[in-house]
């Protein structure tokens, strides 16, 4: 009965129905249409493009703000639309024109607990990560990776415009779910990656962009990954990194590690580089959202997410220690069977990666909030936020010390025991790790350990 009901509800739904609505869903103002026409014309110059842009004061202001931002500024102050066009290039100008239609504040929705601004934040995170990765791998025009990343989930916007109730519910429950595409096909007869490709083609974006929008959710394997172009891989990795930052830890850890390994190998980038990108992402998102004029919501929600992730991290570490204690007892009772140890160590390494990723995300959010308070973007009249951030920062140091000790415990031959007993001297080991970081267990529960100069101003 349910299957027949679904078939009836979905009658007439398919990719053509959605793509027929692109013009209505993304209605561009006349100035934006003219900007896109000039950008796509092989006979147009920077002067032609600047002249069109100056007819729209809002677009001109955004263009100058972007050109003078720390994200792009290369020299002296950019004072004219012509200078901005020369600096940013026609591709980035096209991105600004399109984002004016795609990222509309009136699209904000909080129906059934879903807020589109979280999706916007993910768009920006993917764009920024794509630019970082493109620069790392030597892509000639990394700004093209930025644009492809910014538009990578464009199909979601079309689905939200055409079927807002159904798709907002789907995204609320499954935005970072591995089965998202399958669920979309069941609901619409198509998915957001195919729709994104169709929109890119209708806007005459380069074929490489359309391919990146289509392929960023492909289930990767060692055999399939060789068939993807570099921009496909860059956007896929950027989406993977941004998704991990935004997903609040509800991803399959083993699959996450598998995909990360395949992509880092294919692009020849290090795990350390990916960790640096993840840590910097949230601060960069706030800056780019500002100069692109994209609403990503209340910054204080970042603190709430950080607290939730901190609690989850502590709970995970507690579970890890309990498992490790039980493992140690069993290994000593069974003469330390190497096969079982290896299996357990793999599990611990996987969970340690998960906790480390959560700690990295929290650290990035703490840095973001500190920067916002220092710049005056976030007001802390009662001076309470500083204490909270310091507590989070202090707790992160403890987490990192515990993770380091967990890794060291993988080799029991080098572990210190109490008086040759079967009890591992883990408390002293953790205190020693914390001491190397300038932290003691007393400071965890006592006075804040951050230096005075890091205190947030009121």
The secondary structure of residue 377, as a DSSP letter, is S
Whether residue 89 has pLDDT greater than 70: yes
pLDDT at 135: 93
pLDDT band of residue 313 (cuts 50, 70, 90) is: low
Name the residue among 235, 236, 233 with its Cα closest to residue 268.
233
pLDDT of residue 357: 75
Torsion angles phi and psi, residue 424, rounded to 5:
-80, 135
Rounded Cα distance between 117 and 104, Å, is 10
pLDDT for res 300: 61
> What residue segments make up the domains of the chain, in order of their start?
14-292, 300-454
Q: Mind listing the pLDDT tens digit for each residue in 64-83?
A: 888 887 766 666 788 888 88
Give residue-wise pLDDT tens across range 341-391. 666 667 677 767 777 777 777 777 777 887 787 777 778 777 777 777 777
Instruction: Tell me the torsion sign for CA atoms 438, 440, 444, 447.
Output: negative
- DSSP 8-state class, residue 140: S
Given this model, what pLDDT does residue 375 score? Answer: 76
Task: Indicate the DSSP class of residue 270.
Answer: -
User: 335 pLDDT exceeds 60?
Assistant: no
pLDDT score at 193: 94
Q: Which of 424, 230, 205, 397 is nearest to 329 (CA)?
A: 424
Model pLDDT, residue 73: 61
Other residues' Cβ atoms within 10 Å of the Cβ of residue 137 = 18
Q: Which fold has domain 14-292?
A: Hypothetical protein af1432 (1.10.3210)
C-alpha 296/C-alpha 435 separation (Å) is: 39
- Residue 294 banded pLDDT, cuts 50, 70, 90: confident
Residue 76 Cα distances to 73, 368, 443, angstroms: 8, 26, 46
Query: Highest-confidence range of 79-88, 90-99, 179-188, 196-205, by mean pLDDT?
Result: 179-188
Q: Say if residues 264 and 220 touch (Cβ distance below 8 Å).
A: no
pLDDT higher than threshold 60 for residue 230? yes
- Longest Cα–Cα distance of the chain, Å, equals 82
Whether 359 contacts 249, CB under 8 Å:
no
Percentage of the chain lying above the pLDDT 70 cut: 71
| Residue 206 pLDDT level (bands cut at 50, 70, 90) | confident
> What is the DSSP code string of 321-361?
HHHHHHHHHHHHHTT--HHHHHHHHHHHHHHHHHHHHHHHH
Bridge partners of 67? none
Q: How confident is the model at residue 43, as a pLDDT?
A: 86
**pLDDT for the residue 292:** 78
Strand partners, 424: 417
pLDDT attached to residue 304: 59
Q: In terms of Cα–Cα distance, which of 354, 333, 327, 338 is closest to 426? A: 327
Percent of the chain with pLDDT over 90: 14
39-53, 265-279, 326-340: least confident range: 326-340
Mean pLDDT for 12-26 is 84
pLDDT at 260: 83
Average pLDDT over residues 275-303: 76
pLDDT classification of 114: cutoffs 50, 70, 90: confident
Q: Residue 196: pLDDT band by 50, 70, 90 thresholds?
A: very high
Give residue 406's pLDDT band: very low, low, confident or very high (50, 70, 90): low
Alpha-carbon separation of residue 397 from 276, 313, 403 (angstroms): 17, 12, 10
Question: Greater confidence, 369 or 159?
Answer: 159
Element (H, E) at 82: helix 81-102
Mean pLDDT of 249-254: 58
Interatomic CA distance for residues 452 and 450, integer angstroms:
6
Decide if 281 contacts 314 (C-beta within 8 A).
no
Read off the pLDDT of each residue in 201-226 and give the average, rounded to a whole number.
84
More confident residue, 195 or 34: 195
What does the pLDDT read at residue 397? 76
pLDDT at position 214 over 70: yes
| Mean per-residue pLDDT over the chain, rounded | 75
Say which range, 54-63, 106-115, 191-200, 324-333, has the weakest mean pLDDT: 106-115
Angle made by CA atoms 69, 74, 78, in degrees to the nearest 5: 65
Residue 227: phi and psi, rounded to 5, are -90, -5
DSSP H or E stretch at residue 109: none
* Helix boundaries (H) for 247-337: 253-267, 271-292, 300-333
pLDDT over 70 at 5, yes or no:
no
Q: At 424, is the secondary structure helix, strand, or coil? A: strand
Give the CB-side neighbour count of residue 107, counting CA atoms within 13 A: 26
Beta carbons of 249 and 358 less than 8 angstroms apart: yes
Confidence grade of residue 191 (pLDDT, cut at 50, 70, 90): very high
pLDDT of residue 376: 75
Summarize the confidence of residues 129-150 as an average pLDDT: 90
**What is the per-residue pLDDT for 8?**
44
Answer yes or no: are the C-beta atoms of 397 and 426 closer than 8 Å: no
Q: Taking a C-beta distance cutoff of 8 angstroms, is the pair 123, 292 a contact?
A: no
């Amino acid at each position: 009965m349910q299957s027949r009901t679904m078939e009836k509800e979905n009658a007439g739904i398919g990719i053509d129905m959605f793509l027929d609505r692109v013009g209505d869903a993304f209605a561009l103002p006349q100035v934006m249409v003219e900007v896109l026409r000039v950008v796509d014309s092989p006979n147009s110059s920077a002067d032609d493009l600047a002249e069109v842009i100056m007819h729209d004061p809002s677009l001109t202001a955004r263009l100058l703000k972007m050109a003078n931002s720390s994200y792009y500024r290369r020299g002296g102050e950019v004072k004219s639309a012509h200078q901005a066009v020369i600096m940013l290039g026609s591709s980035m100008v096209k991105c600004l024109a399109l984002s004016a239609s795609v990222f509309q504040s009136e699209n904000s929705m909080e129906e059934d607990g879903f807020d589109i601004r979280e999706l916007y934040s993910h768009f920006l995170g993917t764009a920024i990560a794509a630019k970082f990765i493109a620069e790392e791998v030597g892509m000639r025009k990394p700004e093209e990776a930025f644009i492809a990343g910014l538009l990578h989930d464009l199909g979601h916007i079309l689905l939200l415009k055409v079927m807002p109730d159904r798709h907002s519910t789907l995204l609320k429950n499954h935005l970072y779910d591995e089965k998202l595409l399958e669920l979309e096909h069941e609901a619409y007869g198509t998915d957001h990656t195919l729709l994104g490709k169709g929109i890119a083609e209708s806007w005459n974006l380069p074929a490489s962009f359309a391919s990146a929008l289509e392929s960023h959710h492909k289930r990767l394997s060692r055999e399939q990954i060789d068939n993807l172009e570099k921009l496909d891989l860059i956007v896929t990795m950027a989406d993977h990194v941004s998704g991990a930052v935004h997903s609040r830890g509800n991803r399959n850890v083993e699959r996450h590690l598998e995909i990360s390994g395949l992509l880092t190998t294919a692009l020849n980038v290090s795990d350390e580089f990916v960790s640096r990108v993840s840590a910097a992402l949230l601060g960069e998102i706030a800056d780019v959202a500002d100069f692109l004029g994209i609403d990503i919501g209340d910054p204080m929600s970042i603190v709430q997410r950080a607290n939730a992730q901190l609690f989850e991290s502590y709970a995970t570490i507690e579970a890890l220690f309990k498992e490790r204690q039980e493992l140690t007892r069993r290994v000593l009772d069974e003469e330390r069977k190497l096969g079982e140890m290896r299996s357990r160590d793999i599990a611990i390494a996987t969970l340690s990666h998960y906790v480390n990723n959560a700690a990295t995300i929290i650290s990035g959010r703490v840095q973001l909030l500190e920067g916002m308070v220092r710049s005056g973007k976030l007001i802390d009249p009662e001076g309470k936020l500083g204490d909270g951030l310091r507590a989070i920062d202090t707790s992160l140091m403890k987490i990192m010390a515990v993770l380091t000790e967990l890794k060291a415990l993988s080799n029991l031959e080098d572990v210190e025991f109490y008086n040759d007993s079967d009890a591992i001297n883990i408390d002293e080991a953790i205190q020693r790790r914390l001491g190397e970081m300038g932290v003691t267990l007393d400071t965890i529960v006592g006075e804040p350990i951050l230096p005075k100069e890091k205190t947030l101003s009121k």
